[in-house]
Amino acid sequence: MAKSMVFTCTNCGAQHPRWSGQCDACGEWNSIVEEAPLSAGPGKKSLGARRGTTIKLMDLATAEAPPPRTLSGLGELDRVLGGGLVPASATLVGGDPGIGKSTLLLQAAAAFAEAGLSSVYVTGEEASAQVRMRAQRLGLAQAPVKLAAETALRDILTTLDELRPDVAIIDSIQTMWSDKVEAAPGSVSQVRAVAQELTTFAKSRGTSVILVGHVTKEGQIAGPRVVEHMVDTVLYFEGERGHQFRILRAVKNRFGPADEIGVFEMTGGGLAEVANPSALFLSDREQPAPGSAVFAGIEGTRPVLVEFQALVAPAPAGQARRSVVGWDSSRLAMILAVLEARCGIPFAGMDVYLNVAGGLRIGEPAADLAVAAALLSAREDVALPAGCVVFGEISLSGALRPVGQTENRLKEAQKLGFTEAALPARSKTSAGQGLRLRQMGDLTAFVGDMFGA
Ligand code: TYD
Ligand code: MG
Protein backbone atom coordinates (compact mmCIF):
# COMPACT_ATOMS: atom_id res chain seq x y z
CA MET A 1 0.00 0.00 0.00
CA ALA A 2 1.31 3.41 -0.90
CA LYS A 3 2.11 5.56 2.09
CA SER A 4 -0.37 8.38 2.44
CA MET A 5 1.33 11.76 2.55
CA VAL A 6 1.13 14.19 5.41
CA PHE A 7 1.26 17.95 5.38
CA THR A 8 3.87 19.41 7.69
CA CYS A 9 4.65 23.00 8.68
CA THR A 10 8.33 23.73 8.04
CA ASN A 11 8.33 26.42 10.69
CA CYS A 12 6.94 24.59 13.71
CA GLY A 13 6.63 20.98 12.56
CA ALA A 14 2.86 20.74 13.15
CA GLN A 15 1.09 18.16 11.02
CA HIS A 16 -2.12 18.85 9.14
CA PRO A 17 -4.56 16.53 7.35
CA ARG A 18 -4.62 18.77 4.28
CA TRP A 19 -2.74 21.67 2.77
CA SER A 20 -3.63 25.20 3.70
CA GLY A 21 -2.07 28.60 3.18
CA GLN A 22 -1.48 29.31 6.85
CA CYS A 23 -0.37 27.00 9.66
CA ASP A 24 -2.95 27.30 12.43
CA ALA A 25 -0.43 26.09 15.02
CA CYS A 26 2.17 28.85 14.57
CA GLY A 27 0.42 31.31 12.27
CA GLU A 28 3.14 31.22 9.58
CA TRP A 29 2.04 31.67 5.96
CA ASN A 30 3.14 29.44 3.06
CA SER A 31 5.04 27.09 5.33
CA ILE A 32 3.04 23.87 4.83
CA VAL A 33 4.55 21.24 2.52
CA GLU A 34 3.64 17.68 1.60
CA GLU A 35 5.96 14.99 2.96
CA ALA A 36 6.23 11.26 3.42
CA PRO A 37 5.39 10.37 7.03
CA LEU A 38 7.99 8.96 9.39
CA SER A 39 7.81 5.21 9.93
CA ALA A 40 5.20 4.33 12.52
CA GLY A 41 7.53 1.81 14.18
CA PRO A 42 7.02 -1.94 14.36
CA GLY A 43 3.52 -2.48 12.91
CA LYS A 44 0.56 -4.26 14.43
CA LYS A 45 1.89 -5.76 17.62
CA SER A 46 1.81 -3.16 20.31
CA LEU A 47 4.11 -5.07 22.67
CA GLY A 48 7.71 -5.70 21.68
CA ALA A 49 9.44 -9.03 22.34
CA ARG A 50 12.04 -7.65 24.72
CA ARG A 51 11.36 -5.47 27.66
CA GLY A 52 13.42 -2.35 28.32
CA THR A 53 15.50 -2.37 31.47
CA THR A 54 14.86 -0.10 34.40
CA ILE A 55 17.18 1.13 37.11
CA LYS A 56 16.25 2.39 40.55
CA LEU A 57 16.70 6.12 40.78
CA MET A 58 18.38 5.69 44.17
CA ASP A 59 21.00 3.37 42.71
CA LEU A 60 21.91 6.00 40.18
CA ALA A 61 22.37 8.83 42.58
CA THR A 62 25.48 7.70 44.43
CA ALA A 63 27.06 5.53 41.77
CA GLU A 64 29.13 8.31 40.32
CA ALA A 65 29.43 12.04 40.71
CA PRO A 66 28.17 13.82 37.57
CA PRO A 67 31.06 14.46 35.20
CA PRO A 68 32.23 18.03 35.47
CA ARG A 69 31.13 20.56 32.91
CA THR A 70 33.81 21.81 30.60
CA LEU A 71 34.49 25.49 30.32
CA SER A 72 35.39 26.54 26.80
CA GLY A 73 37.14 29.67 27.94
CA LEU A 74 34.69 31.68 25.83
CA GLY A 75 33.10 33.12 28.94
CA GLU A 76 29.92 34.36 27.27
CA LEU A 77 29.26 30.96 25.68
CA ASP A 78 29.91 29.12 28.94
CA ARG A 79 27.48 31.44 30.70
CA VAL A 80 24.69 30.77 28.22
CA LEU A 81 25.26 27.02 28.42
CA GLY A 82 24.60 27.32 32.15
CA GLY A 83 28.23 27.15 33.30
CA GLY A 84 30.04 25.16 30.65
CA LEU A 85 29.30 22.29 28.31
CA VAL A 86 27.61 19.20 29.76
CA PRO A 87 29.08 15.87 28.55
CA ALA A 88 26.81 13.78 26.29
CA SER A 89 24.40 16.66 25.74
CA ALA A 90 22.70 17.85 22.57
CA THR A 91 22.62 21.57 21.89
CA LEU A 92 20.91 23.42 19.07
CA VAL A 93 22.20 26.81 17.92
CA GLY A 94 19.67 28.58 15.70
CA GLY A 95 19.86 31.91 13.95
CA ASP A 96 19.37 33.81 10.70
CA PRO A 97 21.75 32.99 7.85
CA GLY A 98 24.83 35.21 7.99
CA ILE A 99 24.39 36.17 11.64
CA GLY A 100 27.66 34.43 12.63
CA LYS A 101 26.77 30.89 13.75
CA SER A 102 29.61 29.23 11.84
CA THR A 103 32.05 31.83 13.12
CA LEU A 104 30.91 31.35 16.71
CA LEU A 105 31.07 27.57 16.56
CA LEU A 106 34.44 27.44 14.85
CA GLN A 107 35.74 29.67 17.62
CA ALA A 108 34.01 27.42 20.17
CA ALA A 109 35.51 24.28 18.60
CA ALA A 110 38.95 25.84 18.86
CA ALA A 111 38.31 26.97 22.42
CA PHE A 112 37.15 23.50 23.50
CA ALA A 113 40.19 21.98 21.81
CA GLU A 114 42.48 24.40 23.63
CA ALA A 115 40.71 23.48 26.87
CA GLY A 116 41.78 19.87 26.33
CA LEU A 117 38.68 18.34 24.71
CA SER A 118 38.89 16.56 21.40
CA SER A 119 36.62 18.44 19.05
CA VAL A 120 35.36 17.79 15.55
CA TYR A 121 33.77 20.38 13.28
CA VAL A 122 31.63 18.87 10.51
CA THR A 123 30.57 21.26 7.78
CA GLY A 124 28.00 20.52 5.13
CA GLU A 125 27.95 24.06 3.82
CA GLU A 126 31.51 25.00 3.05
CA ALA A 127 34.54 23.20 1.64
CA SER A 128 37.36 22.36 4.07
CA ALA A 129 39.52 24.95 2.36
CA GLN A 130 36.94 27.65 3.05
CA VAL A 131 36.76 26.69 6.71
CA ARG A 132 40.54 26.73 6.90
CA MET A 133 40.60 30.23 5.40
CA ARG A 134 38.07 31.37 7.95
CA ALA A 135 40.12 29.78 10.74
CA GLN A 136 43.18 31.64 9.50
CA ARG A 137 41.29 34.88 9.53
CA LEU A 138 40.18 34.15 13.10
CA GLY A 139 43.76 33.35 14.13
CA LEU A 140 42.80 29.75 14.86
CA ALA A 141 44.69 27.95 12.10
CA GLN A 142 46.89 26.17 14.67
CA ALA A 143 44.03 24.97 16.87
CA PRO A 144 43.85 21.16 17.22
CA VAL A 145 40.34 20.90 15.76
CA LYS A 146 39.49 18.04 13.41
CA LEU A 147 37.61 19.15 10.33
CA ALA A 148 35.28 17.19 8.05
CA ALA A 149 33.32 18.37 5.02
CA GLU A 150 30.51 15.84 4.75
CA THR A 151 26.74 15.65 4.41
CA ALA A 152 25.92 11.94 4.59
CA LEU A 153 24.87 11.23 8.15
CA ARG A 154 25.89 7.57 8.02
CA ASP A 155 29.48 8.55 7.13
CA ILE A 156 29.53 11.21 9.79
CA LEU A 157 28.34 8.81 12.49
CA THR A 158 30.92 6.22 11.42
CA THR A 159 33.68 8.81 11.65
CA LEU A 160 32.45 10.08 15.01
CA ASP A 161 32.19 6.54 16.32
CA GLU A 162 35.85 5.97 15.43
CA LEU A 163 37.09 9.25 16.84
CA ARG A 164 34.83 9.34 19.92
CA PRO A 165 35.36 13.11 20.28
CA ASP A 166 34.20 15.05 23.33
CA VAL A 167 32.53 17.69 21.17
CA ALA A 168 31.06 17.36 17.67
CA ILE A 169 29.73 20.41 15.86
CA ILE A 170 27.35 19.81 12.95
CA ASP A 171 27.00 22.82 10.63
CA SER A 172 24.16 22.63 9.67
CA ILE A 173 21.31 20.14 10.23
CA GLN A 174 19.59 21.37 7.07
CA THR A 175 22.44 20.17 4.86
CA MET A 176 22.75 16.68 6.38
CA TRP A 177 20.80 13.71 5.11
CA SER A 178 20.01 10.34 6.59
CA ASP A 179 19.45 7.34 4.27
CA LYS A 180 16.73 6.12 6.63
CA VAL A 181 14.33 8.73 5.31
CA GLU A 182 13.23 9.20 1.73
CA ALA A 183 13.07 12.95 1.60
CA ALA A 184 15.26 15.79 0.44
CA PRO A 185 17.83 17.29 2.85
CA GLY A 186 16.28 20.21 4.69
CA SER A 187 12.76 18.77 4.71
CA VAL A 188 11.01 18.39 8.04
CA SER A 189 11.34 14.61 8.12
CA GLN A 190 15.05 14.70 7.17
CA VAL A 191 15.92 17.39 9.67
CA ARG A 192 14.07 15.53 12.41
CA ALA A 193 15.65 12.19 11.55
CA VAL A 194 19.15 13.71 11.48
CA ALA A 195 18.63 15.49 14.80
CA GLN A 196 17.18 12.31 16.30
CA GLU A 197 20.13 10.15 15.26
CA LEU A 198 22.71 12.67 16.40
CA THR A 199 21.00 13.17 19.77
CA THR A 200 20.87 9.43 20.30
CA PHE A 201 24.54 9.23 19.38
CA ALA A 202 25.35 11.95 21.91
CA LYS A 203 23.58 10.11 24.72
CA SER A 204 24.97 6.68 23.97
CA ARG A 205 28.58 7.61 23.13
CA GLY A 206 29.18 10.47 25.54
CA THR A 207 29.89 13.03 22.83
CA SER A 208 28.43 16.51 23.25
CA VAL A 209 26.76 17.34 19.96
CA ILE A 210 26.14 20.91 18.87
CA LEU A 211 23.72 21.30 15.95
CA VAL A 212 23.51 24.45 13.85
CA GLY A 213 20.11 25.35 12.39
CA HIS A 214 19.28 28.20 10.05
CA VAL A 215 16.13 30.13 10.66
CA THR A 216 14.50 30.01 7.25
CA LYS A 217 12.09 32.33 5.59
CA GLU A 218 11.13 30.33 2.53
CA GLY A 219 8.73 27.45 3.12
CA GLN A 220 10.60 24.46 1.67
CA ILE A 221 13.38 24.22 4.27
CA ALA A 222 12.57 23.20 7.83
CA GLY A 223 13.58 25.64 10.54
CA PRO A 224 15.32 24.82 13.83
CA ARG A 225 12.03 24.95 15.74
CA VAL A 226 11.03 21.51 14.46
CA VAL A 227 13.82 19.87 16.51
CA GLU A 228 13.75 22.06 19.62
CA HIS A 229 11.98 19.39 21.64
CA MET A 230 14.64 16.76 20.88
CA VAL A 231 17.66 18.53 22.30
CA ASP A 232 18.71 19.48 25.83
CA THR A 233 19.62 23.06 25.15
CA VAL A 234 18.36 25.54 22.56
CA LEU A 235 20.35 28.68 21.92
CA TYR A 236 19.45 31.41 19.44
CA PHE A 237 22.00 33.76 17.98
CA GLU A 238 20.32 37.10 17.35
CA GLY A 239 21.22 40.59 16.31
CA GLU A 240 20.42 43.26 13.80
CA ARG A 241 22.36 42.91 10.56
CA GLY A 242 23.43 46.55 10.65
CA HIS A 243 24.65 46.35 14.26
CA GLN A 244 27.87 44.74 15.34
CA PHE A 245 26.33 43.30 18.55
CA ARG A 246 25.26 39.67 18.62
CA ILE A 247 23.23 38.12 21.43
CA LEU A 248 23.36 34.40 22.18
CA ARG A 249 20.21 33.56 24.11
CA ALA A 250 19.25 30.33 25.87
CA VAL A 251 15.54 29.72 25.20
CA LYS A 252 15.59 26.21 26.66
CA ASN A 253 18.18 24.63 28.92
CA ARG A 254 17.87 21.36 30.79
CA PHE A 255 21.10 22.17 32.64
CA GLY A 256 20.84 25.82 33.52
CA PRO A 257 18.68 28.92 33.52
CA ALA A 258 16.79 29.74 30.34
CA ASP A 259 16.81 33.35 29.19
CA GLU A 260 20.49 33.72 29.93
CA ILE A 261 22.26 35.84 27.35
CA GLY A 262 25.83 36.14 26.13
CA VAL A 263 26.89 39.27 24.29
CA PHE A 264 29.39 39.34 21.45
CA GLU A 265 30.64 41.91 19.02
CA MET A 266 31.33 40.97 15.38
CA THR A 267 34.76 42.31 14.48
CA GLY A 268 37.12 41.84 11.55
CA GLY A 269 38.81 39.06 13.52
CA GLY A 270 35.65 37.16 14.49
CA LEU A 271 33.38 37.41 17.51
CA ALA A 272 34.74 39.22 20.53
CA GLU A 273 33.17 38.71 23.94
CA VAL A 274 31.56 41.67 25.60
CA ALA A 275 32.06 41.29 29.31
CA ASN A 276 30.24 44.47 30.28
CA PRO A 277 27.19 44.76 28.00
CA SER A 278 25.65 47.71 29.84
CA ALA A 279 28.63 49.90 29.05
CA LEU A 280 28.41 48.82 25.41
CA PHE A 281 24.67 49.36 25.01
CA LEU A 282 24.91 52.82 26.53
CA SER A 283 28.22 53.77 24.92
CA ASP A 284 26.87 55.70 21.95
CA ARG A 285 24.17 57.42 23.94
CA GLU A 286 23.87 61.09 23.31
CA GLN A 287 23.36 63.44 26.22
CA PRO A 288 19.92 63.03 27.84
CA ALA A 289 17.56 63.82 24.97
CA PRO A 290 13.76 63.90 24.89
CA GLY A 291 12.39 60.42 24.24
CA SER A 292 15.25 58.54 25.85
CA ALA A 293 14.96 56.47 29.03
CA VAL A 294 17.54 54.08 30.50
CA PHE A 295 16.04 50.82 31.71
CA ALA A 296 17.76 48.78 34.40
CA GLY A 297 16.90 45.26 33.22
CA ILE A 298 17.81 41.68 34.10
CA GLU A 299 18.75 39.28 31.33
CA GLY A 300 19.05 35.76 32.67
CA THR A 301 21.11 36.13 35.83
CA ARG A 302 22.77 39.39 34.95
CA PRO A 303 21.70 43.03 35.16
CA VAL A 304 21.90 44.92 31.86
CA LEU A 305 21.21 48.59 31.29
CA VAL A 306 19.66 49.49 27.95
CA GLU A 307 18.20 52.62 26.44
CA PHE A 308 14.62 52.88 25.20
CA GLN A 309 14.12 55.53 22.53
CA ALA A 310 10.71 56.90 21.60
CA LEU A 311 9.52 59.33 18.97
CA VAL A 312 6.03 60.79 18.97
CA ALA A 313 4.98 62.82 15.93
CA PRO A 314 1.67 64.10 14.51
CA ALA A 315 0.11 61.51 12.19
CA PRO A 316 -1.82 62.09 8.97
CA ALA A 317 -5.54 61.97 9.77
CA GLY A 318 -6.76 58.46 10.55
CA GLN A 319 -3.42 56.73 9.96
CA ALA A 320 -1.57 56.77 13.28
CA ARG A 321 1.37 54.32 13.19
CA ARG A 322 2.76 52.23 16.00
CA SER A 323 6.21 50.87 15.23
CA VAL A 324 8.29 48.86 17.71
CA VAL A 325 11.78 47.35 17.54
CA GLY A 326 13.02 45.15 20.40
CA TRP A 327 9.85 45.18 22.51
CA ASP A 328 6.39 43.64 22.34
CA SER A 329 3.95 45.70 20.29
CA SER A 330 0.86 44.59 22.21
CA ARG A 331 2.56 45.62 25.44
CA LEU A 332 3.15 49.06 23.89
CA ALA A 333 -0.55 49.30 23.02
CA MET A 334 -1.39 48.46 26.64
CA ILE A 335 0.89 51.14 28.03
CA LEU A 336 -0.53 53.75 25.64
CA ALA A 337 -4.03 52.77 26.75
CA VAL A 338 -3.14 53.03 30.44
CA LEU A 339 -1.54 56.45 29.90
CA GLU A 340 -4.71 57.63 28.22
CA ALA A 341 -7.28 56.05 30.54
CA ARG A 342 -5.55 56.54 33.91
CA CYS A 343 -3.50 59.69 33.39
CA GLY A 344 -5.56 61.43 30.72
CA ILE A 345 -2.62 61.67 28.31
CA PRO A 346 -3.87 60.73 24.82
CA PHE A 347 -1.69 59.47 21.95
CA ALA A 348 -4.51 59.34 19.42
CA GLY A 349 -3.64 61.02 16.14
CA MET A 350 0.08 60.61 16.78
CA ASP A 351 2.66 58.27 15.28
CA VAL A 352 4.55 56.38 17.99
CA TYR A 353 7.94 54.79 17.37
CA LEU A 354 9.71 52.79 20.06
CA ASN A 355 13.16 51.32 19.77
CA VAL A 356 15.60 49.46 22.03
CA ALA A 357 19.08 50.81 21.27
CA GLY A 358 21.78 48.30 20.35
CA GLY A 359 19.56 45.59 18.86
CA LEU A 360 18.63 43.85 22.13
CA ARG A 361 15.14 42.35 22.57
CA ILE A 362 13.55 43.06 25.92
CA GLY A 363 10.83 40.73 27.22
CA GLU A 364 10.54 41.78 30.85
CA PRO A 365 7.35 43.49 32.08
CA ALA A 366 9.74 45.40 34.36
CA ALA A 367 10.48 47.60 31.36
CA ASP A 368 6.91 49.02 31.34
CA LEU A 369 7.83 52.09 33.34
CA ALA A 370 10.89 52.82 31.20
CA VAL A 371 8.72 52.58 28.08
CA ALA A 372 6.16 54.93 29.61
CA ALA A 373 8.95 57.33 30.60
CA ALA A 374 10.40 57.33 27.06
CA LEU A 375 6.93 57.89 25.54
CA LEU A 376 6.05 60.73 27.90
CA SER A 377 9.45 62.34 27.47
CA ALA A 378 9.04 62.22 23.68
CA ARG A 379 5.50 63.54 23.80
CA GLU A 380 6.28 66.41 26.15
CA ASP A 381 9.64 67.06 24.45
CA VAL A 382 11.31 67.13 27.87
CA ALA A 383 14.39 65.06 28.69
CA LEU A 384 14.35 62.86 31.79
CA PRO A 385 16.70 63.88 34.61
CA ALA A 386 20.32 63.12 33.67
CA GLY A 387 21.78 60.04 35.35
CA CYS A 388 18.41 58.44 36.09
CA VAL A 389 17.46 54.79 35.45
CA VAL A 390 13.84 53.62 35.37
CA PHE A 391 12.16 50.26 35.99
CA GLY A 392 8.84 48.85 37.23
CA GLU A 393 5.79 47.02 36.00
CA ILE A 394 2.58 48.92 35.18
CA SER A 395 -0.76 47.28 35.92
CA LEU A 396 -3.96 48.03 34.01
CA SER A 397 -5.15 50.16 36.93
CA GLY A 398 -2.12 52.42 36.50
CA ALA A 399 -0.53 51.15 39.72
CA LEU A 400 3.23 50.48 39.72
CA ARG A 401 4.26 47.01 40.80
CA PRO A 402 7.65 46.19 42.33
CA VAL A 403 9.77 43.80 40.26
CA GLY A 404 12.35 41.15 41.14
CA GLN A 405 16.06 41.77 41.73
CA THR A 406 15.66 45.45 42.54
CA GLU A 407 19.00 45.55 44.33
CA ASN A 408 20.94 44.04 41.43
CA ARG A 409 19.43 46.60 39.09
CA LEU A 410 20.35 49.47 41.39
CA LYS A 411 23.88 48.13 41.89
CA GLU A 412 24.48 47.93 38.14
CA ALA A 413 23.15 51.48 37.69
CA GLN A 414 25.44 52.78 40.37
CA LYS A 415 28.41 50.91 38.93
CA LEU A 416 27.87 52.70 35.62
CA GLY A 417 27.74 56.11 37.20
CA PHE A 418 24.00 56.69 37.46
CA THR A 419 22.84 58.78 40.39
CA GLU A 420 19.06 58.38 40.48
CA ALA A 421 16.48 55.66 40.01
CA ALA A 422 12.73 55.90 39.44
CA LEU A 423 10.96 52.75 40.66
CA PRO A 424 7.72 51.50 42.21
CA ALA A 425 6.96 52.21 45.88
CA ARG A 426 7.33 49.17 48.16
CA SER A 427 10.27 47.87 46.11
CA LYS A 428 12.68 45.93 48.29
CA THR A 429 15.69 48.19 48.62
CA SER A 430 18.19 48.29 51.41
CA ALA A 431 19.91 51.61 52.02
CA GLY A 432 19.41 52.72 48.41
CA GLN A 433 23.02 51.97 47.56
CA GLY A 434 23.92 55.60 47.26
CA LEU A 435 21.40 56.34 44.52
CA ARG A 436 18.68 58.91 44.95
CA LEU A 437 15.46 56.89 44.80
CA ARG A 438 12.25 58.27 43.38
CA GLN A 439 9.57 55.82 44.47
CA MET A 440 6.01 56.18 43.20
CA GLY A 441 2.85 54.15 43.82
CA ASP A 442 1.14 54.82 40.50
CA LEU A 443 1.65 56.21 37.04
CA THR A 444 -0.02 59.53 37.79
CA ALA A 445 2.42 60.17 40.64
CA PHE A 446 5.26 59.20 38.30
CA VAL A 447 4.13 61.68 35.64
CA GLY A 448 3.87 64.40 38.30
CA ASP A 449 7.31 63.66 39.71
CA MET A 450 9.15 63.37 36.41
CA PHE A 451 7.38 66.00 34.34
CA GLY A 452 5.86 68.23 37.01
CA ALA A 453 2.38 67.83 35.50
P1 TYD B 1 28.82 33.20 9.43
O2 TYD B 1 29.47 32.68 10.65
O3 TYD B 1 29.21 32.60 8.13
O4 TYD B 1 27.24 33.18 9.56
P5 TYD B 1 26.22 31.93 9.58
O6 TYD B 1 27.00 30.70 9.77
O7 TYD B 1 25.30 32.25 10.74
O8 TYD B 1 25.49 31.96 8.29
O9 TYD B 1 29.11 34.77 9.43
C10 TYD B 1 28.96 35.49 8.29
C11 TYD B 1 29.16 36.96 8.51
O12 TYD B 1 30.09 37.30 9.51
C13 TYD B 1 29.66 37.53 7.23
O14 TYD B 1 28.72 38.50 6.80
C15 TYD B 1 30.97 38.13 7.54
C16 TYD B 1 30.99 38.27 9.02
N17 TYD B 1 32.34 38.06 9.60
C18 TYD B 1 33.00 39.10 10.18
O19 TYD B 1 32.53 40.24 10.19
N20 TYD B 1 34.24 38.89 10.75
C21 TYD B 1 34.82 37.66 10.75
O22 TYD B 1 35.94 37.51 11.27
C23 TYD B 1 34.11 36.58 10.13
C24 TYD B 1 34.70 35.20 10.09
C25 TYD B 1 32.87 36.81 9.59
MG1 MG C 1 27.25 29.10 8.42
- Which atom number of ligand 1 is nearest to the Cα of residue 237? 7
Average pLDDT over residues 131-151: 91
Average pLDDT over residues 185-191: 91
Q: Report every protein residue that has its C-beta within 5 angstroms of ion ligand 2.
A: 102
Average pLDDT over residues 83-112: 93
What's the CATH architecture for 71-275?
3-Layer(aba) Sandwich (3.40)
Q: In this predicted structure, what is the pLDDT of residue 293? A: 95
Q: Whose CA is nearest to atom 8 of ligand 1?
A: 98
Q: In this predicted structure, what is the pLDDT of residue 258? A: 83
Residue 166 known to bind ligand: no
Q: In this predicted structure, what is the pLDDT of residue 240? A: 76
Is the pLDDT at 453 greater than 60, yes or no?
Answer: no
Q: In this predicted structure, what is the pLDDT of residue 68? A: 77
Ligand 2 centroid distance, CA of 100 (Å)? 7
Domain boundaries, the chain: 1-37, 71-275, 279-451
Topology at the third CATH level for domain 279-451: Ribosomal Protein S5; domain 2 (3.30.230)
Q: What is the pLDDT of residues 227-276, one digit of tens each?
A: 999 999 999 998 877 778 899 999 999 988 888 889 999 988 899 998 88
Residue 1: pLDDT band with limits 50, 70, 90: very low
Closest CA to 34 of 12, 10, 3, 5: 5
On average, the pLDDT of the chain sits at: 88
Q: Which of 102, 103, 241, 244 to mutate to test the pocket of ligand 1 (most atoms within 8 A of CB)?
A: 103
Q: What is the pLDDT of residues 363-389, one digit of tens each?
A: 999 999 999 999 999 999 999 998 999
Ligand 2 centroid distance, CA of 97 (Å)? 7
Q: What is the pLDDT of residues 194-211, one digit of tens each?
A: 999 999 999 999 999 999
Residue 39: pLDDT band with limits 50, 70, 90: low
Q: What is the pLDDT of residues 279-329, one digit of tens each?
A: 877 866 767 789 999 999 998 888 999 999 999 999 988 888 999 999 999
